[in-house]
Structure 1
Amino acid sequence: MSEFLTWLFATLFVLVVIAWYLTYTAARLDRLHVRLSGTLAALDARLVRRAEAALELANSGLLDGATALILAGAASESLESPAEHGEARETAETELSEALELALTEPVVTHVRDSGPLGQEQLAKLASACTRVQLARRFHNDAVTDVRRVRRKWTIRVFRLAGHTPMPHTIEFDDQMPATLGV
């Protein structure tokens, strides 16, 4: 009888340890998904701020008409792009980065800086917004990598601890700040 109880307690102990491990792993995965949602929301906010800063500069009267039109068009397209991240959103953000690079040449940036405090403020806002987009995208992609690494574990797959949550993907677009803004 004592041998039976020993086996029973040993089996119960193993089951409790397995249950604890699965609960801990599920909670960790949930925390990673919450972090992922937070980084995505932060990235969305930074993208909107960058587009708004570009639109403010385009509408400030500090740029020539053609440059302002290019910049305003790309910024408006970015603001009007679908809220969910996908190919359309990434294309709009890449086009805004390209428009910034095209519009903000060295002579244009020098002219805007020399125009006074308003120009300097507009360029500083835009530079800050571009830097924050780069950081937010990097943080989001790091969070995606962490979630994907954890979800590849066999215990997550076998016990379906991720439920029906789709596998996250990194967000890829050109987020380079024009070199002239750093000057």
Structure 2
Amino acid sequence: MKTFVIIGIFLLVFIWYLTFLATRLDRLHHRVETSWANLDGLLQRRAAIALEITRSEIADPASAMLLTAAAYQAREASIENRSAAESGLSGALGLLLADGQSSQRPAEIVLLRELSELTDKVRIAIALHVDAVARTHLVRSKAIVRIFRLAGTAPLPITYEFETDVL
């Protein structure tokens, strides 16, 4: 009788642990999705600001054309091409800001300040997303998660190359 009780307790604890891991994995996947949604929104806003900069007098016509093309590519890129498009926009913004073509007009100063603040937010959002992806990979790499298929059909989250080179 004692053996059945001990086995029953062991099974209950084991089932509780599997449930705990599955719930944790679900929360981690949700965290990855929300961090990506936040990052995507910030990147879309960065592309919009880049387009506003092209309409201002900050950029010369050639830089404005390059920045416009990079911004539209970043906004409309598919998930497979997103990394290259965002890296291109980062490069175009870097070239524009490295030129040092800044005027003292209040509207342009506000745009550049907003771009700077947004860049800081993008860096934070990237750090949060990379952390969420790393933690999810860590949990999914456990043997018990793979054996009992606790991840279900959720795709393995990935990080993108542009997440290491944003402005």
Q: Structure 1 length as normaliser, TM-score?
A: 0.86
2:89 to 77, 91, 96: 96
Q: Is the 8 A contact 1:70 1:103 kept in 2?
A: no
Question: How many pairs are equivalent?
Answer: 166
**Identity score, percent:** 39
CA deviations over 1:118-169 (Å, ceiling 9, x no partner): 1110101111122222221121111000000001111101111011222111
Verify: 1:63 aligned to 2:69, yes or no.
Answer: no
Report the residue type matching 2:72 in the other structure. Answer: S
Q: Is the 8 A contact 1:93 1:175 kept in 2?
A: no
Q: How far, CA to CA, are the matches of 1:117 and 1:175 in structure 2?
A: 29
Report the residue type matching 1:91 in the other structure. Answer: A
Detail structure 1 runs of 4+ shifted over 3 Å in the superposition. Answer: none
1:142-161 paired onto structure 2 within 5 Å = 142-161=131-150
Question: Structure 2 unaligned runs (5+)?
Answer: none
CA deviations over 1:27-77 (Å, ceiling 9, x no partner): 111111111110010110011011011111111233221121111111111
1:132-171 paired onto structure 2 within 5 Å = 132-171=121-160
Return 33-42 or 127-136, whichever deviates more: 127-136
CA RMSD of aligned residues (A): 1.3
Correspondence for 1:181? none
Query: Which protein, 1 or 2, shows the higher relative CO under an 8 Å CA cutoff with sep ≥ 6?
Result: 2
Question: What is the CA-CA distance between 1:106 and the residue it aligns to?
Answer: 4.4
Q: How far, CA to CA, are the matches of 1:12 and 1:6 in structure 2?
A: 10
Question: What is the CA-CA distance between 1:78 and the residue it aligns to?
Answer: 0.9
Verify: 1:126 aligned to 2:126, yes or no.
Answer: no
